[in-house]
Structure 1
Amino acid sequence: MSNNTANTSSTSEAISKATSTGRKAYRGEVLHFLADPAKVSEEESYQYFEDGLLVINHGLVEAVGNAKDLLKTLPADVVVTQYDNGLIMPGFIDTHVHYAQSEMVASYGEQLLEWLENYTFPEEKKFADLEHGKRVAEFFLSQLLDAGTTTALVFGTVHKESVEAFFTVAQQKKLRMICGKVLMNQNCPDDLSDTVESGYADSKALIEKWHNTDRLQYAVTPRFAPTCSTEQLNKAGELLKEYPSVYLHTHLSENKDEIAWVSELFPDSDGYLDVYDKSSLLGRRSVFAHGVHLHDHECQRLSETNSAIAFCPTSNLFLGSGCFNLKQAEEFDVNVGLGTDIGAGSSFSMLTTLNEGYKTQQLRGDKLSPYKSLYLATLGGAIALDLEGTIGNFIQGAEADFIVLDYQATPLMDVRIKRCTTLTEKLFVLSMLGDDRHVKATHIMGEKV
């Protein structure tokens, strides 16, 4: 009995010592979300600590709360980093972005289908080269981190090498990232086309190598219905059945000409979403980019299957696609995250994306509160990606990917913030005037990067 007690005591001391050395804490204003502001009152949707403390233990969140309460519980040797004149938040989550389009951002003058033909396809041909892919992936991920984005759902290209390159660099940076090889076997350049068989085989090999390796996950990625035969979409559905924990990532109802084209190509389907539904591509880890022009019955089906929409306002405005109906999505309880959609989107910054998102809803005659905006950029994105509890907020055990937003990064922000009298006003100013300059620090698993 006494030996057991001694062993237990010794073990506890060892654990306590290890825990203490693995701990670190960050003090300042802290904000994170607990629920969708559209489903509960705004006050219930978030936690805000004017003088808060975020305690990290070996890369995971141990506690968050008022500094005066939590500081008393910490061992004396825990280092506390103070962030003044800023806001500590979970890292931003980008639910739709194309890393291979990083170097063709701001390509002039086209709508979706012409833009793909004139700019996108020529750019993506370069990604047969693994080293080119690694160089662009390094640039892309650095841009995301500079902008405070710590997780993204990413399109590769049709080349298997593009995903190898992306995951290799993301793994080195210890990031939680999701990516997939594009499937595309019709209505595209011959040298960007795969086949039903090669697309399946390449995807399967990438899943076996990379899915759930460290913090990396795989997404089966048909480009969009027009570039995929029914056979290829069905094969994508087979991959989802074989590997139930992988993602499905594609485009949906972005542009009216695109929707008309889908109707011509798939005359037996009841609309755009039904093309994917017939191939068993809807589900909890299925993310459809855009959804600008959805019918109520399509929203109902997205909701029934727990599928998600990536709302990409900068891209929708840049390509003239239209304004996403967020209120419709809320009415049908559709999961929604935010996407920058680089390179049709014109900024890596999620703050800039919030700015454009607000304007799209204004054009619809709707209001987008700063609470809903910042929810979509953090916890909303985590829920859309089926990663609630892993990323997106500061609940105990979540991975400690977080950022610090700087109230004094620009003279205009500094002056405007000083005039704010409420948290609501302060958050709105951040979402309207903020960009990558306002990200003071980005932390991955508790480490500043």
Structure 2
Amino acid sequence: MPRASPRARSSDVALRDDTSTDARAGANVGERATSSASFGDLQLDERLTRALRAAGFDAPSPVQLACVPLGRFGCDVIAQAKSGTGKTMTFVVIALERVDAGRRRTQALALAPTRECAVQTHECFVEMIEKFKDMDGDARGGIETCLLVGGLPVKEDRARLASQPHVVVGTPGRTRQMLEEGSMACDGARLLILDEADALLSGTFERDVLFAYSMLPERKQVCAFSATYSKTLLGDLERLMRAPQKVMLCESTTALQGVRQFYSLIEKEDGTKLADVITAKEARLLKICGDVSFHQAVVFVRRLAWGEALAKRLTSQGLKAAFTAGTLPQERRMKVMEEMRNFQLRVLVSTDLTARGVDLTHVNLVINLDVPPSGATYMHRIGRTGRFGTYGLAVAVLTADELEQLR
């Protein structure tokens, strides 16, 4: 488990005004596009460059500079880059370059571990395609996409797949279902994208991902993206690829440079009840939210009942909040994320459902009220802030025993 450094006791995390200023915004050139790089360096056609600029991308990030040329030429790629540095747009550009808009067959499949990640990736594809529609005569404006996620009507998925959309974005379970029943034709697919590959190839997702991999043609391009990889996972990925090109941009540390990390200790004596610890943590959370100047915050918890109750208590204290978790209905999860993106919420209370792959532009404060299950999860959690070169704060509210686990 990575250490929360620099560290501060709760009296220090009372957060002086200069710390709250750090939470607002700023540029961190080391993890964002620099003025010395341009999309021209990637040899992209002029219309794709225009589409990227219209979507708000003025210059490529380091992961885009390194991976897009490899992906365009059909190389298998294993890319490691920190959260919030442009991995999603990297593979969106690769896919748009590789897909033949005039050939109405499913040509690219992008898998993501959560519905939230899949929805976000699909939205990126749609946004870029909409930019092409504004350009007369660009066939890429006619690229069709399809989103496959659980919790939504299967009948609608079947109807969309019947037209053989060029690009399919999905979660492993629903994608496998569509492949098994024959609703998704994949004989024309030549590109498989694994977003958050470390999550896809572990736990319950692995079998579904490998099934999808086996259903696609043998000759296909595979591109994997994540902020964290184990040695075992790298070996597993290499066996799925042909001479993969590795782009490892954060092997030494996956922590974003613009994220300042603190912990705040909660006193717990022998015999202290869990309910008392929770009450103390909530009081500390409210103090932090009162002392820090922030736009939006994400608060991570592991207990579903606590998350629901905490969101209601925060709202009653004037911090409009909502709770999301993988056990909730899909429509509710999507509504919560939409409200968060539209700045209708100040605080998102969440399980690790949103710990990875989700881009919430205005979040500059992350608070951990529970110890994450692994070091990788901790890094993904705090990666919800400090994205695209901005600054943010991450605070872990812990007992002394939990601090030892975090270390």
TM-score grouping bracket, smaller chain normalisation: under 0.3
TM-score, reference length from structure 1? 0.25
What TM-score does the superposition give when structure 2 sets the normalisation length?
Answer: 0.27
Which structure has more strand as a fraction of its residues? 1
> Which structure has the higher relative contact order (CA within 8 Å, separation 6+)?
2
- Structure number with greater Rg is 1
